[in-house]
Structure 1
């Protein structure tokens, strides 16, 4: 898997305003893993405040759009950012990369299927022949993580992550959807790995 640097991730986010198209019903499937030490009544404790603690690699303006998407997802589950009176310390993680895929007919001899074959995948079809036309599109991988610690004791109270792979080029909004998927079920999510399906916000022309 190839990983993209923060600046390229930020560039993708910056292109969101330039994307054009009609409304879409695309659904993002996130592979989610969550671990919680919070009680079920945690959201009833008002206000639930937090501050974001940036890692050294995140000390740059290009990380601001990513933090903003995370803040929106945190707000949806009842958390309010308050750097002065934070109850929790939140650390964010984001990864972007791709995984090349092999044509299933790549190793076929040139005489197989008359020298031509078809391959299919998640969202794409192509033709493979003697000259290896139409290689499979790579899987674009997007991943986010959230770690919450008690601001007083520094004990980890919540850990969650969400991963999405798709053959389509990632819309920058995918990161926000993945943060939302990672927080699904907060403060006591289901145990073990699970899939969370969340609609991708429609892009208007």
Structure 2
């Protein structure tokens, strides 16, 4: 009996550690599309950030997204210098939500499992940790960013990239920084066209569905 209790304790502790690890890092999948005519970093590697009138009107709410974009640009070797810029950079960010219509199977709502040791079928019940049943489809949080770069001298577009992420979980504004990093991956010579990038995003405690950044208020999308 004592041996059984000891093994059960180890199992519970192992599951708790695994769940804790899952809660501390989130794998963010971004759908990225990039197009570039650049062959190297511009000389000097500087840019001027050009904000749209709507973005200027939303200051200082847009400042959080602007800061995330500037940090991502710095990580690929570009520095903001509005007076001596080689590039003109425009950024955008979107946030909205919709219902996961794929949540419904042919027999009604399906089970949404976290870490499980079994699975349900139809309206049956299986065993698992973090299993839930919803009477309505869960919300999907859509987040997207884009970056467009033009030559300061000619105003010709030389770089265009975007990144999109959709999940039942979100964490604004950190998620926008992750998307800007994904969008700029490979700069200045990224793979042309669409690709997927996975980025581990550290989170503290359970991953909450955080309130959206005020400058990009989510709106429901009707099918």
Give the shorter-chain TM-score range. 0.7 to 0.9
- Inter-partner Cα distance in structure 2 for 1:181 and 1:88: 20
How do 1:130-149 and structure 2 match up within 5 A? 134-149=135-150
SS at match of 1:200: strand
The answer on whether the counterparts of 1:69 and 1:179 sit within 8 Å (CA) in structure 2 is yes
Q: Which of 104, 119, 124 is the matching residue for 2:111? A: 119
From 45, 49, 52, the counterpart of 2:49:
52
TM-score (normalised: structure 2): 0.68
Provide the C-alpha distance between the structure 2 equivalents of 1:89 and 1:203, rounded to a whole number of angstroms: 36
Q: CA offsets per residue over residues 74-111 of structure 1, 9 Å max, x none?
A: 00000000010010000001000012123414x75xxx
CA distance in 2, matches of 1:121, 1:189: 36
Does the 8 A contact of 1:99 with 1:140 survive in 2? yes
Alignment of 1:124-203 (within 5 A): 126-127=132-133, 134-203=135-204
Q: Which residue of 2 aligns with 1:29?
A: 29
Q: SS state of the match for residue 180, structure 1?
A: helix
User: Per-residue deviation at 1:70?
Assistant: 0.3
Paired residues of 2:104 and 2:137 also in contact (CA < 8 A): no
Equivalent residues of 1:32, 1:160 under 8 A apart: yes
For structure 2, the residue ranges without an aligned partner over 5 or more in a row are: 1-19, 116-129, 206-223
Distance 1:50 1:85 in 2: 8
RMSD over aligned Cα atoms:
2.7
163-172 or 48-57: which moved more?
Answer: 163-172
Query: What is the CA distance between 1:201 and its match in structure 2?
Result: 3.5
- Separation in 1, partners of 2:114, 2:33: 23
How far residue 135 of structure 1 moved from its aligned partner, in angstroms, is: 1.5
Equivalent pair of 1:104/1:119 in contact (CA under 8 Å): no
- Contact persistence 1:139–1:167 (CA under 8 A): yes
How far does residue 37 in structure 1 lie from its aligned partner after superposition? 0.7
Q: Which runs of 5+ in 1 are unaligned?
A: 1-20, 109-115, 128-132
* Deviation at residue 121 of structure 1 after TM alignment: 7.5
* Higher alpha-carbon Rg: 2
Query: Which of structure 1's runs of 4+ aligned residues deviate more than 3 A?
Result: 116-126, 201-204
Is the contact between residue 46 and residue 79 of structure 2 (CA under 8 Å) also seen in structure 1? yes
Distance 2:70 2:196 in 1: 22
